[in-house]
Amino acid sequence: MPPTGLCDGRVTTEAAQELWTQVREEAVSAVEHDRVMAEVIRDTVLLHETFADALAHRLARKLSDYALAIDTLEAIMCEALSADPAIEEAAMADLTAVRDRDPACPDLLTPFLYFKGYHAVQSYRFSNWLWKRGRLHLAKHLQSRASEVFAVDVHPAARLGRGILFDHGTAIVIGETAVIDDDVSMLQGVTLGGTGKQCGDRHPKVRRGVLIGAGAKVLGNITIGEGAKVGAGSIVLESVQPYTTVVGNPARPVGTRHKHMPALTMDQSLPALDYAI
């Protein structure tokens, strides 16, 4: 059967085609190693000529329910991909980030097929596109379905850059006015939330290269500076300076300022602590 899909007619960039060729090659190799996986890999990857079509199909299959059938969701996502090429560009950057940063990820195919952190970020990208066009209830429906399916809750109005890694993903919560810049990594259980019933701009701003450890809670309209590191389980209530490590409840700086981007190295080690948590 030839490649199929609602997005196949759109113009595909050279970068997208190169990435998709690599994913397809990995898919062929996976089938050769385990024929039991042939049908799911064929449906998810090999039947699709472009990355955009496969992405729309994969997410639509994951998020469809009694209210919105897979064909309807796939058409909506293809509409978004055709109208805004930045969605596809961000999705490719996210996929590459997962492969490059996650030691449990051997290739591009694995997160595309299985990693719900990756799927959750891409679901957000479509809900955000709908939100910005005033289709608020459809955006909230996608948010709700993604929360149910992936256990990740990202408000459609939040602003996420590209090269984002939600490692494991489970129980990540991102509030309405939160901002996440490019090349940020966070682990399971992270909350970017408010501190109460404030209105307006009330959620954290996370700058480029930040790493937020598992279970950390970052609350309020505060800034986590470029290249900062937040230790696992920390409660962050005040802004964090760039290239600074904070840990504890409440979080406070530890050690000396570093020079690298923790989100890229995924180095979660902490300097020696001079106090007890």
Residue 221 · residue 203 · CB < 8 Å: yes
Whole-angstrom CA distances from 103 to 96, 144, 181, 206 are 13, 30, 23, 23
Q: For residues 86 and 217, what is the distance between their CA atoms, to the nearest angstrom? A: 29
- pLDDT of 181 above 70: yes
The predicted structure's pLDDT at residue 20: 96
First-to-last alpha carbon distance for the chain, in angstroms, is 60
Residue 59 · residue 37 · CB < 8 Å: no
Reply yes or no: is the peptide bond before residue 250 cis, omega within 30 of 0.
yes
Q: Please state which architecture CATH assigns to domain 1-152.
A: Orthogonal Bundle (1.10)
Mean pLDDT score, 195-220: 95
The predicted structure's pLDDT at residue 199: 87
Is CATH 3.30.70.260 the right assignment for the domain spanning 171-267? no
Tens-place pLDDT, residues 139-168:
999 999 999 999 999 999 999 999 999 999
- pLDDT of 121 above 70: yes
- pLDDT of 240 above 50: yes
Output the average pLDDT for the chain: 93
Comma-separated ranges of CATH 1.10.3130.10 domains in the chain: 1-152
Look up residue 226 and give its two tokens. Answer: 């470029």
Which among 82, 120, 94, 96 is positioned nearest to 6, based on CA atoms?
Answer: 82
Radius of gyration of the chain (CA): 19
